[in-house]
Amino acid sequence: MDMVWTGIIALIIGLVLGAVGAWIWLRQRGGGEGSVAELKKENERFREEVNEHFVQTAELINQLTDSYKAVFDHLSEGADKLVDQDAVRERMPRVSDREVRLKHIGSRDGEGA
């Protein structure tokens, strides 16, 4: 999730810099009625880009979540099929009374994450 916050912060910084740049550019052009209409159009285009960006970000996060779940399911199925439960229980006596799961196998003290 840290990457999501980093992306959001970067987006906000980009928006601020873009807005300042657009304001300076329009101000240097001399202003006037035509500039106000153009500024409104540019603002609308910019808002649409921001909306599209957030929709795409949400879709990518959903894909990432699905991929993470698929990897976890694959590892879990592999552990069920490939791991000798008796050998695991001998090596990890603290979890012998619980179902052996990947999170227990990977932890130092057998308590899981």
> What is the average per-residue pLDDT within 68-97?
76
Give the model's confidence band at 85: pLDDT under 50 very low, under 70 low, under 90 confident, else very high.
confident
Mean confidence (pLDDT) of the chain = 77
> What is the average per-residue pLDDT within 62-71?
92
pLDDT at 86: 77
84: left (phi over 0), alpha (psi -120 to 50) or beta: beta
More confident residue, 98 or 20: 20
Among residues 86, 95, 83, which one has the least CA distance to residue 104? 95
Tell me the whole-structure pTM to 2 decimals. 0.43
More confident residue, 76 or 95: 76
> What is the average per-residue pLDDT within 30-59?
85
Are 92 and 107 within 8 A, CB to CB?
Answer: no
Q: Which amino acid is at 74?
A: H
Q: Which amino acid is at 88?
A: V
pLDDT at 69: 92
- Asked if pLDDT for residue 30 goes beyond 50, the answer is yes
- Asked if pLDDT for residue 62 goes beyond 60, the answer is yes
Of 20-34, 50-64, 71-85, the range with the highest mean pLDDT is 50-64
